[in-house]
Structure 1
Amino acid sequence: MRFLIIIPAHNEENNLPFTLDSLQRQSCKDFKTVVVNDGSTDRTAEVISKYTNHDIRFETVNLQKSLHQPGSKVVHAFKKGLETQDVNTFDIICKFDSDVIFPENYLEKIDKVFRNNPDYGLVGGLLYVEKNGDWVYEGNSNKHHVRGPVKAYRKESFVQMNGIRETLGWDNIDAILLQNLGWKEVVLSELHVRLIKVKGADYTIKPAEYYGKYFYFLGLNRFLACVAAGKEAMKSKSGSFFFKIISSYENCRRQKLELKISENERKIINRQRWEMLKRKWLKM
Protein backbone atom coordinates (compact mmCIF):
# COMPACT_ATOMS: atom_id res chain seq x y z
CA MET A 1 0.00 0.00 0.00
CA ARG A 2 1.28 3.47 -0.85
CA PHE A 3 1.53 6.17 1.81
CA LEU A 4 0.92 9.91 1.51
CA ILE A 5 2.41 11.64 4.56
CA ILE A 6 1.59 15.28 5.31
CA ILE A 7 3.67 17.02 8.00
CA PRO A 8 2.76 20.58 9.05
CA ALA A 9 5.80 22.40 10.47
CA HIS A 10 6.26 25.82 12.06
CA ASN A 11 9.67 26.78 13.47
CA GLU A 12 10.78 23.17 13.87
CA GLU A 13 14.42 23.42 12.75
CA ASN A 14 15.58 21.47 15.80
CA ASN A 15 12.99 18.70 15.80
CA LEU A 16 12.09 18.17 12.14
CA PRO A 17 15.39 16.43 11.18
CA PHE A 18 14.65 13.66 13.70
CA THR A 19 11.21 13.09 12.15
CA LEU A 20 12.41 13.08 8.55
CA ASP A 21 15.46 10.93 9.33
CA SER A 22 13.19 8.35 10.95
CA LEU A 23 11.05 8.29 7.79
CA GLN A 24 14.10 7.78 5.59
CA ARG A 25 15.03 4.79 7.73
CA GLN A 26 11.65 3.10 7.28
CA SER A 27 11.70 -0.52 6.10
CA CYS A 28 8.66 0.36 3.94
CA LYS A 29 9.94 2.66 1.19
CA ASP A 30 6.75 3.32 -0.81
CA PHE A 31 5.72 6.73 0.50
CA LYS A 32 5.63 10.39 -0.41
CA THR A 33 6.12 13.04 2.26
CA VAL A 34 4.91 16.63 1.91
CA VAL A 35 6.31 18.95 4.56
CA VAL A 36 4.18 22.09 4.87
CA ASN A 37 6.33 24.99 6.04
CA ASP A 38 3.74 27.12 7.81
CA GLY A 39 5.40 30.55 7.81
CA SER A 40 8.49 29.51 9.77
CA THR A 41 10.90 32.29 10.75
CA ASP A 42 13.78 29.99 11.71
CA ARG A 43 15.79 27.56 9.53
CA THR A 44 12.92 25.12 8.95
CA ALA A 45 12.88 25.79 5.20
CA GLU A 46 16.62 25.13 5.00
CA VAL A 47 16.19 21.86 6.90
CA ILE A 48 13.44 20.72 4.53
CA SER A 49 15.54 21.49 1.45
CA LYS A 50 18.23 19.06 2.62
CA TYR A 51 15.70 16.28 2.09
CA THR A 52 13.81 17.55 -0.96
CA ASN A 53 17.08 18.16 -2.83
CA HIS A 54 18.29 14.57 -2.43
CA ASP A 55 15.22 12.36 -2.02
CA ILE A 56 12.34 12.50 -4.54
CA ARG A 57 9.97 11.11 -1.90
CA PHE A 58 10.10 14.45 -0.09
CA GLU A 59 8.32 17.61 -1.26
CA THR A 60 7.46 20.90 0.40
CA VAL A 61 4.77 23.55 0.40
CA ASN A 62 5.52 27.03 1.73
CA LEU A 63 2.74 29.05 3.37
CA GLN A 64 2.45 32.46 4.89
CA LYS A 65 2.10 32.06 8.65
CA SER A 66 -1.49 31.08 9.44
CA LEU A 67 -3.35 32.43 12.44
CA HIS A 68 -2.57 30.58 15.64
CA GLN A 69 -5.76 28.81 16.54
CA PRO A 70 -5.52 25.58 18.55
CA GLY A 71 -6.40 22.64 16.33
CA SER A 72 -7.40 24.61 13.24
CA LYS A 73 -3.90 25.93 12.43
CA VAL A 74 -2.32 22.52 12.02
CA VAL A 75 -5.28 21.15 10.03
CA HIS A 76 -5.22 24.20 7.76
CA ALA A 77 -1.56 23.49 6.95
CA PHE A 78 -2.33 19.79 6.49
CA LYS A 79 -5.08 20.57 3.98
CA LYS A 80 -2.81 22.89 2.00
CA GLY A 81 -0.36 20.03 1.65
CA LEU A 82 -3.10 17.61 0.72
CA GLU A 83 -4.33 19.93 -2.05
CA THR A 84 -1.06 19.47 -3.92
CA GLN A 85 -1.54 15.69 -4.28
CA ASP A 86 -3.87 13.31 -6.10
CA VAL A 87 -5.31 11.36 -3.18
CA ASN A 88 -6.52 8.61 -5.51
CA THR A 89 -2.93 7.53 -6.21
CA PHE A 90 -2.41 6.58 -2.53
CA ASP A 91 -3.83 3.94 -0.21
CA ILE A 92 -3.04 5.45 3.20
CA ILE A 93 -3.23 9.13 4.19
CA CYS A 94 -1.08 10.16 7.18
CA LYS A 95 -1.09 13.31 9.25
CA PHE A 96 2.15 13.29 11.24
CA ASP A 97 3.68 15.93 13.50
CA SER A 98 7.11 17.45 12.97
CA ASP A 99 8.53 16.51 16.37
CA VAL A 100 8.17 12.73 16.51
CA ILE A 101 10.58 9.84 15.90
CA PHE A 102 9.14 6.71 14.31
CA PRO A 103 10.51 3.18 14.79
CA GLU A 104 11.93 1.77 11.56
CA ASN A 105 9.04 -0.65 11.08
CA TYR A 106 6.28 1.89 11.67
CA LEU A 107 4.97 2.16 8.10
CA GLU A 108 5.50 -1.56 7.51
CA LYS A 109 3.31 -2.45 10.49
CA ILE A 110 0.63 0.07 9.50
CA ASP A 111 0.62 -1.34 5.97
CA LYS A 112 0.26 -4.90 7.23
CA VAL A 113 -2.69 -4.26 9.56
CA PHE A 114 -4.56 -2.28 6.92
CA ARG A 115 -4.10 -5.06 4.36
CA ASN A 116 -5.16 -7.76 6.82
CA ASN A 117 -8.14 -5.88 8.29
CA PRO A 118 -10.41 -4.26 5.69
CA ASP A 119 -12.60 -2.68 8.40
CA TYR A 120 -9.73 -0.69 9.95
CA GLY A 121 -10.11 3.00 9.07
CA LEU A 122 -7.66 4.73 11.45
CA VAL A 123 -4.44 3.26 12.86
CA GLY A 124 -1.48 4.55 14.88
CA GLY A 125 1.06 3.79 17.59
CA LEU A 126 1.54 5.08 21.12
CA LEU A 127 3.42 8.25 22.08
CA TYR A 128 6.38 8.09 24.45
CA VAL A 129 8.25 10.99 26.04
CA GLU A 130 11.68 11.20 27.65
CA LYS A 131 11.67 11.29 31.44
CA ASN A 132 14.80 11.02 33.56
CA GLY A 133 16.69 9.43 30.69
CA ASP A 134 14.01 6.86 29.86
CA TRP A 135 11.24 6.86 27.26
CA VAL A 136 7.89 6.40 29.01
CA TYR A 137 4.27 6.35 27.83
CA GLU A 138 2.99 9.90 27.64
CA GLY A 139 -0.35 9.03 29.25
CA ASN A 140 -2.21 12.04 27.80
CA SER A 141 -4.99 9.89 26.40
CA ASN A 142 -6.41 6.41 26.64
CA LYS A 143 -4.51 3.67 24.84
CA HIS A 144 -7.35 3.03 22.41
CA HIS A 145 -7.28 6.47 20.78
CA VAL A 146 -4.92 7.35 17.92
CA ARG A 147 -3.33 10.70 18.82
CA GLY A 148 -3.05 13.65 16.45
CA PRO A 149 0.72 13.38 15.82
CA VAL A 150 0.51 9.84 14.39
CA LYS A 151 -2.73 9.54 12.41
CA ALA A 152 -2.84 7.03 9.53
CA TYR A 153 -6.16 6.76 7.65
CA ARG A 154 -7.24 4.23 5.06
CA LYS A 155 -7.91 6.39 2.02
CA GLU A 156 -11.47 5.13 1.65
CA SER A 157 -12.34 5.98 5.26
CA PHE A 158 -10.69 9.41 4.98
CA VAL A 159 -12.67 10.26 1.84
CA GLN A 160 -15.91 8.86 3.24
CA MET A 161 -15.78 11.08 6.33
CA ASN A 162 -14.89 14.07 4.11
CA GLY A 163 -11.42 14.50 5.62
CA ILE A 164 -10.48 16.08 8.94
CA ARG A 165 -12.06 19.26 10.27
CA GLU A 166 -10.29 22.57 10.63
CA THR A 167 -11.25 23.04 14.26
CA LEU A 168 -10.34 22.44 17.87
CA GLY A 169 -11.23 18.82 18.66
CA TRP A 170 -10.58 17.55 15.13
CA ASP A 171 -8.58 14.56 16.41
CA ASN A 172 -11.60 13.27 18.33
CA ILE A 173 -14.20 14.24 15.77
CA ASP A 174 -12.51 12.06 13.13
CA ALA A 175 -12.60 8.94 15.33
CA ILE A 176 -16.28 9.44 16.19
CA LEU A 177 -17.33 10.00 12.58
CA LEU A 178 -15.35 6.99 11.39
CA GLN A 179 -16.92 4.79 14.03
CA ASN A 180 -20.37 5.94 12.95
CA LEU A 181 -19.49 4.99 9.36
CA GLY A 182 -18.53 1.50 10.47
CA TRP A 183 -14.74 1.90 10.49
CA LYS A 184 -12.54 0.85 13.40
CA GLU A 185 -9.93 2.98 15.16
CA VAL A 186 -7.01 0.79 16.27
CA VAL A 187 -3.91 1.59 18.33
CA LEU A 188 -0.91 -0.69 17.81
CA SER A 189 0.57 -0.72 21.30
CA GLU A 190 3.80 -2.35 20.13
CA LEU A 191 4.63 0.71 18.00
CA HIS A 192 6.33 3.24 20.28
CA VAL A 193 6.67 6.69 18.73
CA ARG A 194 8.98 9.11 20.51
CA LEU A 195 7.56 12.59 21.05
CA ILE A 196 10.21 15.28 21.43
CA LYS A 197 8.79 17.51 24.15
CA VAL A 198 10.14 20.81 25.40
CA LYS A 199 11.96 20.20 28.67
CA GLY A 200 9.70 20.86 31.62
CA ALA A 201 6.56 21.13 29.45
CA ASP A 202 3.45 19.30 30.56
CA TYR A 203 0.98 19.03 27.69
CA THR A 204 -1.61 17.39 29.95
CA ILE A 205 -2.29 20.70 31.76
CA LYS A 206 -4.81 22.86 29.89
CA PRO A 207 -6.49 26.07 31.05
CA ALA A 208 -10.23 26.08 31.70
CA GLU A 209 -10.83 28.38 28.72
CA TYR A 210 -9.31 25.73 26.43
CA TYR A 211 -11.66 23.01 27.67
CA GLY A 212 -14.71 25.24 27.30
CA LYS A 213 -13.84 25.98 23.69
CA TYR A 214 -12.92 22.35 23.07
CA PHE A 215 -16.29 21.05 24.28
CA TYR A 216 -18.10 23.71 22.25
CA PHE A 217 -16.30 23.03 18.97
CA LEU A 218 -16.66 19.30 19.55
CA GLY A 219 -20.38 20.04 19.30
CA LEU A 220 -21.37 18.86 22.78
CA ASN A 221 -24.77 19.92 24.11
CA ARG A 222 -24.99 21.69 27.47
CA PHE A 223 -25.58 18.53 29.49
CA LEU A 224 -22.64 16.62 28.02
CA ALA A 225 -20.43 19.71 28.27
CA CYS A 226 -21.23 19.90 31.99
CA VAL A 227 -20.43 16.21 32.42
CA ALA A 228 -17.12 16.62 30.60
CA ALA A 229 -16.32 19.77 32.59
CA GLY A 230 -17.05 17.92 35.81
CA LYS A 231 -14.62 15.19 34.82
CA GLU A 232 -11.84 17.72 34.23
CA ALA A 233 -12.67 19.53 37.48
CA MET A 234 -12.32 16.27 39.39
CA LYS A 235 -8.92 15.68 37.81
CA SER A 236 -7.75 19.13 38.90
CA LYS A 237 -9.52 18.81 42.28
CA SER A 238 -10.97 22.28 41.82
CA GLY A 239 -14.64 23.22 41.87
CA SER A 240 -13.89 26.64 40.41
CA PHE A 241 -12.26 24.92 37.42
CA PHE A 242 -15.67 23.49 36.51
CA PHE A 243 -17.36 26.90 36.48
CA LYS A 244 -14.54 28.47 34.47
CA ILE A 245 -14.90 25.74 31.83
CA ILE A 246 -18.66 26.24 31.62
CA SER A 247 -18.19 30.02 31.42
CA SER A 248 -15.86 29.56 28.45
CA TYR A 249 -18.33 27.14 26.81
CA GLU A 250 -21.26 29.51 27.29
CA ASN A 251 -19.22 32.41 25.97
CA CYS A 252 -18.72 30.49 22.72
CA ARG A 253 -22.47 29.81 22.56
CA ARG A 254 -23.31 33.50 23.06
CA GLN A 255 -20.95 34.46 20.24
CA LYS A 256 -22.49 31.73 18.06
CA LEU A 257 -19.04 30.70 16.87
CA GLU A 258 -19.13 28.65 13.70
CA LEU A 259 -18.87 24.89 14.05
CA LYS A 260 -16.96 22.95 11.39
CA ILE A 261 -19.32 20.00 11.63
CA SER A 262 -22.82 19.61 10.20
CA GLU A 263 -25.90 19.40 12.40
CA ASN A 264 -26.16 15.70 11.60
CA GLU A 265 -22.51 15.16 12.59
CA ARG A 266 -23.16 17.06 15.80
CA LYS A 267 -26.00 14.69 16.61
CA ILE A 268 -23.74 11.71 15.89
CA ILE A 269 -21.06 13.05 18.25
CA ASN A 270 -23.54 13.72 21.07
CA ARG A 271 -25.12 10.29 20.63
CA GLN A 272 -21.71 8.61 20.78
CA ARG A 273 -20.70 10.55 23.90
CA TRP A 274 -24.01 9.73 25.57
CA GLU A 275 -23.58 6.01 24.83
CA MET A 276 -20.05 6.17 26.24
CA LEU A 277 -21.35 7.93 29.34
CA LYS A 278 -23.97 5.24 29.92
CA ARG A 279 -21.38 2.47 29.56
CA LYS A 280 -18.72 4.01 31.79
CA TRP A 281 -20.67 5.91 34.42
CA LEU A 282 -24.24 4.64 34.53
CA LYS A 283 -23.34 1.00 33.73
CA MET A 284 -26.33 0.81 31.38
Structure 2
Amino acid sequence: MRFLIIIPAHNEEENLPFTLDSLQQQSFKDFRTVVVNDGSTDGTEDVIRKYTDHDSRFATVNLQKSAHQPGSKVVNAFKNGLKTQNINEFDVICKFDADIILPENYLETVETAFKDHSRYGLVGGLLYVEKDGQWIYEGNSNKHHVRGPMKAYRKECFVQMGGVRETLGWDNIDSILLTNLGWKEIVLPELHVKLIKVKGTDYTIRPADYYGRYFYFLGLNRFLAYIASSKEAAKSRSISFFFDIIKAYETCKKEKLELKISKDEQKVINGQRWKMLKKKWLKM
Protein backbone atom coordinates (compact mmCIF):
# COMPACT_ATOMS: atom_id res chain seq x y z
CA MET A 1 0.00 0.00 0.00
CA ARG A 2 1.14 3.55 -0.69
CA PHE A 3 0.67 6.36 1.83
CA LEU A 4 -0.05 10.05 1.18
CA ILE A 5 0.74 12.12 4.27
CA ILE A 6 -0.39 15.74 4.57
CA ILE A 7 1.09 17.83 7.41
CA PRO A 8 -0.27 21.34 8.06
CA ALA A 9 2.38 23.50 9.75
CA HIS A 10 2.27 27.03 11.16
CA ASN A 11 5.37 28.33 13.00
CA GLU A 12 6.63 24.84 13.77
CA GLU A 13 10.38 25.29 13.20
CA GLU A 14 11.19 23.77 16.60
CA ASN A 15 8.83 20.77 16.41
CA LEU A 16 8.64 19.91 12.71
CA PRO A 17 12.14 18.36 12.46
CA PHE A 18 11.13 15.72 15.03
CA THR A 19 8.07 14.83 12.98
CA LEU A 20 9.87 14.66 9.65
CA ASP A 21 12.83 12.77 11.11
CA SER A 22 10.44 10.18 12.53
CA LEU A 23 8.97 9.76 9.05
CA GLN A 24 12.39 9.28 7.47
CA GLN A 25 13.15 6.64 10.09
CA GLN A 26 10.02 4.60 9.33
CA SER A 27 10.52 0.90 8.56
CA PHE A 28 7.87 1.36 5.85
CA LYS A 29 9.26 3.50 3.02
CA ASP A 30 6.53 3.85 0.37
CA PHE A 31 4.99 7.19 1.25
CA ARG A 32 4.81 10.77 0.00
CA THR A 33 4.65 13.68 2.43
CA VAL A 34 3.32 17.15 1.66
CA VAL A 35 4.08 19.76 4.32
CA VAL A 36 1.69 22.71 4.05
CA ASN A 37 3.42 25.84 5.31
CA ASP A 38 0.44 27.88 6.50
CA GLY A 39 1.81 31.43 6.59
CA SER A 40 4.66 30.73 9.00
CA THR A 41 6.70 33.74 10.13
CA ASP A 42 9.52 31.75 11.74
CA GLY A 43 12.00 29.33 10.15
CA THR A 44 9.45 26.65 9.22
CA GLU A 45 10.02 27.14 5.48
CA ASP A 46 13.78 26.63 5.90
CA VAL A 47 13.19 23.47 7.92
CA ILE A 48 10.94 22.04 5.19
CA ARG A 49 13.49 22.85 2.50
CA LYS A 50 16.13 20.72 4.23
CA TYR A 51 13.93 17.69 3.58
CA THR A 52 12.50 18.55 0.16
CA ASP A 53 15.99 19.27 -1.19
CA HIS A 54 17.36 15.85 -0.24
CA ASP A 55 14.41 13.44 -0.16
CA SER A 56 12.05 13.15 -3.15
CA ARG A 57 9.31 11.78 -0.90
CA PHE A 58 8.87 15.24 0.63
CA ALA A 59 7.10 18.20 -1.01
CA THR A 60 5.68 21.48 0.22
CA VAL A 61 2.91 24.00 -0.35
CA ASN A 62 3.10 27.61 0.85
CA LEU A 63 -0.09 29.42 1.92
CA GLN A 64 -0.96 32.85 3.21
CA LYS A 65 -1.73 32.78 6.93
CA SER A 66 -5.35 31.84 7.65
CA ALA A 67 -7.39 32.78 10.71
CA HIS A 68 -6.32 30.68 13.67
CA GLN A 69 -9.52 29.04 14.78
CA PRO A 70 -9.70 25.45 15.98
CA GLY A 71 -10.70 22.96 13.31
CA SER A 72 -11.21 25.03 10.17
CA LYS A 73 -7.65 26.34 9.85
CA VAL A 74 -5.93 22.99 9.97
CA VAL A 75 -8.43 21.33 7.63
CA ASN A 76 -8.13 24.20 5.15
CA ALA A 77 -4.36 23.67 5.09
CA PHE A 78 -4.82 19.91 4.79
CA LYS A 79 -7.15 20.30 1.81
CA ASN A 80 -4.73 22.65 0.07
CA GLY A 81 -2.03 20.03 0.38
CA LEU A 82 -4.36 17.29 -0.80
CA LYS A 83 -5.24 19.24 -3.96
CA THR A 84 -1.64 19.04 -5.14
CA GLN A 85 -1.74 15.25 -5.34
CA ASN A 86 -3.64 12.61 -7.32
CA ILE A 87 -5.16 10.54 -4.51
CA ASN A 88 -5.85 7.70 -6.96
CA GLU A 89 -2.12 6.96 -6.78
CA PHE A 90 -2.41 6.18 -3.05
CA ASP A 91 -4.11 3.64 -0.82
CA VAL A 92 -3.96 5.47 2.51
CA ILE A 93 -4.57 9.18 3.17
CA CYS A 94 -2.98 10.54 6.37
CA LYS A 95 -3.47 13.81 8.18
CA PHE A 96 -0.61 14.24 10.66
CA ASP A 97 0.29 17.21 12.85
CA ALA A 98 3.66 18.96 12.71
CA ASP A 99 4.49 18.31 16.37
CA ILE A 100 4.34 14.54 16.78
CA ILE A 101 6.99 11.82 16.92
CA LEU A 102 5.98 8.52 15.36
CA PRO A 103 7.44 5.18 16.44
CA GLU A 104 9.55 3.60 13.69
CA ASN A 105 6.96 0.92 12.96
CA TYR A 106 3.97 3.26 12.78
CA LEU A 107 3.27 3.18 9.04
CA GLU A 108 4.16 -0.50 8.77
CA THR A 109 1.75 -1.45 11.56
CA VAL A 110 -1.05 0.70 10.11
CA GLU A 111 -0.53 -0.87 6.69
CA THR A 112 -0.74 -4.37 8.16
CA ALA A 113 -3.99 -3.47 9.93
CA PHE A 114 -5.53 -2.20 6.69
CA LYS A 115 -4.35 -5.25 4.73
CA ASP A 116 -5.64 -7.73 7.30
CA HIS A 117 -9.04 -6.07 7.85
CA SER A 118 -10.92 -4.87 4.77
CA ARG A 119 -13.49 -2.82 6.73
CA TYR A 120 -10.95 -0.80 8.70
CA GLY A 121 -11.53 2.76 7.49
CA LEU A 122 -9.59 4.85 10.03
CA VAL A 123 -6.57 3.65 12.00
CA GLY A 124 -4.21 5.32 14.47
CA GLY A 125 -2.31 4.97 17.72
CA LEU A 126 -2.52 6.67 21.10
CA LEU A 127 -1.16 10.09 22.00
CA TYR A 128 1.40 10.51 24.78
CA VAL A 129 2.63 13.76 26.35
CA GLU A 130 5.72 14.45 28.42
CA LYS A 131 5.26 15.09 32.14
CA ASP A 132 8.07 15.21 34.68
CA GLY A 133 10.41 13.52 32.23
CA GLN A 134 8.00 10.66 31.50
CA TRP A 135 5.77 10.08 28.49
CA ILE A 136 2.22 9.43 29.71
CA TYR A 137 -1.08 8.79 27.93
CA GLU A 138 -2.71 12.11 27.05
CA GLY A 139 -6.18 10.99 28.09
CA ASN A 140 -8.15 13.76 26.34
CA SER A 141 -10.31 11.24 24.52
CA ASN A 142 -11.36 7.63 24.89
CA LYS A 143 -8.99 4.92 23.74
CA HIS A 144 -11.26 3.93 20.86
CA HIS A 145 -11.04 7.27 19.04
CA VAL A 146 -8.22 8.18 16.63
CA ARG A 147 -7.15 11.72 17.55
CA GLY A 148 -6.69 14.50 15.01
CA PRO A 149 -2.86 14.63 15.02
CA MET A 150 -2.46 11.11 13.57
CA LYS A 151 -5.32 10.12 11.28
CA ALA A 152 -4.80 7.42 8.64
CA TYR A 153 -7.78 6.75 6.36
CA ARG A 154 -8.25 3.97 3.85
CA LYS A 155 -8.66 5.90 0.60
CA GLU A 156 -11.98 4.27 -0.29
CA CYS A 157 -13.38 5.22 3.12
CA PHE A 158 -12.03 8.76 2.85
CA VAL A 159 -13.64 9.28 -0.56
CA GLN A 160 -16.95 7.66 0.41
CA MET A 161 -17.43 9.91 3.45
CA GLY A 162 -16.58 13.01 1.43
CA GLY A 163 -13.24 13.70 3.07
CA VAL A 164 -12.84 15.76 6.23
CA ARG A 165 -14.93 18.85 6.90
CA GLU A 166 -13.50 22.32 7.27
CA THR A 167 -15.15 22.97 10.61
CA LEU A 168 -14.80 22.74 14.35
CA GLY A 169 -15.43 19.14 15.39
CA TRP A 170 -14.15 17.65 12.12
CA ASP A 171 -12.22 14.90 13.91
CA ASN A 172 -15.39 13.64 15.57
CA ILE A 173 -17.62 14.12 12.54
CA ASP A 174 -15.39 11.84 10.46
CA SER A 175 -15.67 9.07 13.03
CA ILE A 176 -19.46 9.19 13.09
CA LEU A 177 -19.86 9.37 9.31
CA LEU A 178 -17.48 6.56 8.44
CA THR A 179 -19.01 4.31 11.09
CA ASN A 180 -22.45 5.01 9.64
CA LEU A 181 -21.14 3.91 6.24
CA GLY A 182 -20.05 0.57 7.65
CA TRP A 183 -16.36 1.30 8.14
CA LYS A 184 -14.51 0.80 11.42
CA GLU A 185 -12.40 3.24 13.42
CA ILE A 186 -9.56 1.35 15.07
CA VAL A 187 -7.01 2.45 17.66
CA LEU A 188 -3.84 0.35 17.90
CA PRO A 189 -2.79 0.88 21.55
CA GLU A 190 0.70 -0.48 20.99
CA LEU A 191 1.50 2.52 18.79
CA HIS A 192 2.59 5.32 21.12
CA VAL A 193 2.74 8.68 19.35
CA LYS A 194 4.53 11.44 21.23
CA LEU A 195 2.84 14.85 21.17
CA ILE A 196 5.46 17.53 21.66
CA LYS A 197 3.15 20.35 22.73
CA VAL A 198 -0.30 20.46 24.29
CA LYS A 199 -3.13 21.18 21.84
CA GLY A 200 -5.34 24.22 22.14
CA THR A 201 -2.88 26.42 24.04
CA ASP A 202 -2.67 29.00 21.25
CA TYR A 203 -6.36 29.38 20.48
CA THR A 204 -7.84 32.79 21.26
CA ILE A 205 -11.40 31.51 21.62
CA ARG A 206 -12.79 31.27 25.18
CA PRO A 207 -13.61 27.75 26.48
CA ALA A 208 -17.36 28.44 26.70
CA ASP A 209 -17.41 29.86 23.17
CA TYR A 210 -15.40 26.87 21.98
CA TYR A 211 -17.89 24.34 23.34
CA GLY A 212 -20.91 26.31 22.15
CA ARG A 213 -19.52 26.60 18.64
CA TYR A 214 -18.33 23.00 18.71
CA PHE A 215 -21.80 21.66 19.55
CA TYR A 216 -23.33 23.86 16.86
CA PHE A 217 -20.93 22.91 14.09
CA LEU A 218 -21.18 19.27 15.09
CA GLY A 219 -24.81 19.63 14.07
CA LEU A 220 -26.35 18.82 17.45
CA ASN A 221 -29.99 19.70 17.92
CA ARG A 222 -30.92 21.99 20.81
CA PHE A 223 -31.80 19.16 23.23
CA LEU A 224 -28.53 17.28 22.72
CA ALA A 225 -26.51 20.51 22.76
CA TYR A 226 -28.00 21.46 26.12
CA ILE A 227 -27.29 17.99 27.51
CA ALA A 228 -23.69 18.17 26.28
CA SER A 229 -23.34 21.67 27.76
CA SER A 230 -24.57 20.48 31.13
CA LYS A 231 -21.95 17.73 31.13
CA GLU A 232 -19.16 20.24 30.47
CA ALA A 233 -20.52 22.58 33.15
CA ALA A 234 -20.66 19.70 35.62
CA LYS A 235 -16.98 18.99 34.99
CA SER A 236 -16.19 22.62 35.78
CA ARG A 237 -18.71 22.74 38.64
CA SER A 238 -19.99 26.01 37.26
CA ILE A 239 -23.61 26.86 36.45
CA SER A 240 -22.49 30.07 34.73
CA PHE A 241 -20.28 27.98 32.41
CA PHE A 242 -23.41 26.14 31.25
CA PHE A 243 -25.20 29.37 30.36
CA ASP A 244 -22.10 30.76 28.62
CA ILE A 245 -21.90 27.65 26.43
CA ILE A 246 -25.60 27.86 25.62
CA LYS A 247 -25.26 31.54 24.76
CA ALA A 248 -22.49 30.75 22.26
CA TYR A 249 -24.52 27.88 20.76
CA GLU A 250 -27.67 29.99 20.42
CA THR A 251 -25.69 32.86 18.89
CA CYS A 252 -24.47 30.51 16.16
CA LYS A 253 -28.05 29.36 15.52
CA LYS A 254 -29.34 32.92 15.42
CA GLU A 255 -26.66 33.93 12.93
CA LYS A 256 -27.35 30.76 10.92
CA LEU A 257 -23.67 30.06 10.48
CA GLU A 258 -22.96 27.66 7.65
CA LEU A 259 -22.62 24.00 8.57
CA LYS A 260 -20.22 21.79 6.62
CA ILE A 261 -22.47 18.75 6.95
CA SER A 262 -25.68 17.90 5.12
CA LYS A 263 -29.13 17.52 6.67
CA ASP A 264 -28.85 13.75 6.36
CA GLU A 265 -25.43 13.81 8.05
CA GLN A 266 -26.90 15.91 10.85
CA LYS A 267 -29.52 13.21 11.38
CA VAL A 268 -26.80 10.56 11.53
CA ILE A 269 -24.76 12.55 14.07
CA ASN A 270 -27.76 13.31 16.29
CA GLY A 271 -28.93 9.70 16.07
CA GLN A 272 -25.52 8.44 17.13
CA ARG A 273 -25.37 10.92 20.03
CA TRP A 274 -28.86 9.98 21.17
CA LYS A 275 -27.93 6.30 21.02
CA MET A 276 -24.86 6.97 23.18
CA LEU A 277 -26.94 8.99 25.63
CA LYS A 278 -29.48 6.21 26.08
CA LYS A 279 -26.76 3.61 26.50
CA LYS A 280 -24.66 5.54 28.99
CA TRP A 281 -27.19 7.54 30.99
CA LEU A 282 -30.51 5.80 30.57
CA LYS A 283 -29.09 2.26 30.43
CA MET A 284 -31.36 1.49 27.46
Q: Same fold (TM over 0.5)?
A: yes
Equivalent residue number for residue 117 of structure 1: 117
> CA–CA distance in 1 between the matches of 2:279 and 2:230?
17
Q: How does 1:1-284 map to 2 (within 5 A)?
A: 1-197=1-197, 207-284=207-284
Output one character per residue of 1:20-55: Cα deviation in whole Å (capped at 9) or x when no partner.
000000000000000000010100000000000000
> 3-state DSSP class of the match of 1:212?
helix
Q: What secondary structure sits across from 2:69 in the alignment? A: coil
**CA–CA distance in 2 between the matches of 1:206 and 1:101?**
29
Give the AA of the match of 1:81: G
- Report if the CA contact (8 A) 2:129-2:198 is conserved: no
Aligned letter for 2:188? L
Within 2, Cα distance between the matches of 1:156 and 1:216?
28
Kindly provide the CA deviation profile for residues 89-127 of structure 1, in whole angstroms up to 9, marking residues without a partner as x: 100000000000000000000000000000100000000
Deviations 1:179-218 (Å, cap 9, x if unpaired)? Answer: 000000000111000000169x699x97111000000000
Question: What secondary structure does 2:281 align onto?
Answer: helix
TM-score between both structures, scaled by the size of structure 2: 0.97
Letter of the structure 1 residue corresponding to residue 149 of structure 2: P
Partner AA of 2:248 in structure 1: S
Alignment deviations for residues 127-151 of structure 1 (CA, whole Å, 9 cap, x no partner): 0000000000011111110000000
- Write the distance in 1 (CA, Å) between the matches of 2:262 and 2:253: 16
Identity of paired residues, percent?
76
Q: State the Cα distance separating 1:67 from its structure 2 match.
A: 1.9
CA distance in 1, matches of 2:117, 2:208: 40
Instruction: Give the letter aligned to residue 211 of structure 2.
Output: Y
Q: Which amino acid aligns with 1:41?
A: T
Determine helix, strand or coil for the equivalent of 1:166. coil
CA–CA separation in structure 2 for the residues paired with 1:139 and 1:69:
23
| DSSP 3-state at the match of 1:282 | coil
> What's the secondary structure of 2:93's corresponding residue?
strand
* Two-structure CA RMSD over aligned residues (Å): 1.5
Given that residues 179 and 185 in structure 2 are in contact (C-alpha distance below 8 angstroms), is that contact kept between their aligned partners in structure 1? yes
Q: In structure 1, what is the Cα distance between the partners aligned to 2:228 and 2:206?
A: 14
**Aligned pairs, how many?**
282
Instruction: Please identify runs of 4+ aligned residues in structure 1 that moved more than 3 A.
Output: none
CA distance in structure 1 between the aligned counterparts of 2:136 and 2:69, rounded to whole angstroms:
29
Q: TM-score, normalised by structure 1?
A: 0.97
